[in-house]
């Protein structure tokens, strides 16, 4: 069923028509700019395929679902586009718009069905987002580590094991290969739908040099020079 939703969405249309200057299509949990981040986009809108996958999952007539989203733009416009696109394959979507804190609180309590939100990496290492999206060692309400996987009530021992293996791999090439494998497997078999990555346009005068924003938006201002 997760696959059906991923094939129902028109990622390119959302990017071009709603957020052309601030986001790009990105379908992996590691941000572009990270070593091992996948920059291909295997999913695109295929209504026939989405309907076939729904029927295969036992929902030939679709189903009803609620999507929580932040009330600040561009979330309402993105949510409405997704509502229309899912509707085209028979999924009836109810949108619930709230202040961002309320959306996050509901997710942390595992009370959402679907939610549109954003996440950035906490530190410049593959494990930051991999652990958040893949690891759920205790899916009970008493869990100490409440990752995004836990919040979505999803746990898969394969991803728990692969993430631990990649974290402790000392060979750089093997480590990158492991994280590439995890990303490919994850987007095929997890409930997460990756839509976009935020981009940050920078405007500088011609006499300014040394401005170089990183993927974590941490510019070394001591390197900025004015001619």
Radius of gyration, CA atoms only, the chain: 19
Contact 193, 8 (CB under 8 A): no
- Record the pTM: 0.92
Residue 219: what pLDDT?
66
Domain count, the chain: 1
CATH number for 162 = 3.10.105.10
Mean of all residue pLDDT scores within the chain: 95
* Cα(171)–Cα(155) distance, integer angstroms: 27
Contact 79, 68 (CB under 8 A): no
Residue 217: what pLDDT?
65
- The string of pLDDT tens digits covering residues 16-40 is 999 999 999 999 999 999 999 999 9
- The string of pLDDT tens digits covering residues 176-187 is 999 999 999 999
Tell me the two tokens of residue 143: 């869990």
Residue 152 is part of which domain span?
Answer: 2-226
Residue 213: what pLDDT?
76
Instruction: Say whether pLDDT at 227 is over 90.
Output: no
15 — phi, psi (to 5°)? Answer: -65, -50
Of 183, 182, 225, nearest in space to 204 by CA: 225
Residue 160: what pLDDT?
98
- The string of pLDDT tens digits covering residues 65-90 is 999 999 999 999 999 999 999 999 99
Of 151, 118, 134, 159, nearest in space to 31 by CA: 118
- The string of pLDDT tens digits covering residues 192-224 is 999 999 988 888 899 998 887 777 766 677 888
């Amino acid at each position: 069923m997760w696959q059906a939703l991923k094939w129902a969405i028109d990622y390119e249309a959302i990017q071009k028509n709603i957020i052309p200057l601030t986001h790009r299509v990105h379908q992996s949990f590691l941000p572009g700019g990270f070593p091992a981040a996948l920059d291909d986009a295997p999913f695109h809108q295929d209504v026939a395929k989405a309907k076939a996958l729904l029927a295969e999952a036992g929902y030939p007539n679709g189903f009803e679902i609620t999507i929580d989203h932040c009330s600040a733009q561009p979330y309402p416009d993105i949510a409405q586009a997704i509502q229309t696109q899912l509707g085209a394959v028979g999924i009836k979507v109810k949108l619930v718009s709230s202040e961002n804190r309320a959306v996050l609180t509901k997710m942390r309590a595992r009370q959402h069905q679907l939610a549109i939100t954003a996440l950035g990496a906490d530190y410049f290492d593959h494990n930051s987002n991999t652990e958040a999206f893949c690891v759920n060692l205790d899916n009970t309400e008493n869990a100490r580590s409440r990752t995004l996987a836990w919040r979505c009530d999803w746990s898969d021992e394969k991803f728990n094991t692969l993430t631990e293996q990649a974290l402790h791999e000392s060979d750089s090439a093997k480590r990158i290969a492991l994280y590439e494998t995890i990303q490919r497997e994850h987007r095929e078999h997890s409930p997460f739908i990756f839509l976009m990555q935020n981009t940050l346009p920078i405007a500088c005068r011609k006499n300014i040099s040394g401005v170089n924003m990183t993927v974590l938006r941490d510019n070394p201002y001591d390197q900025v020079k004015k001619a």
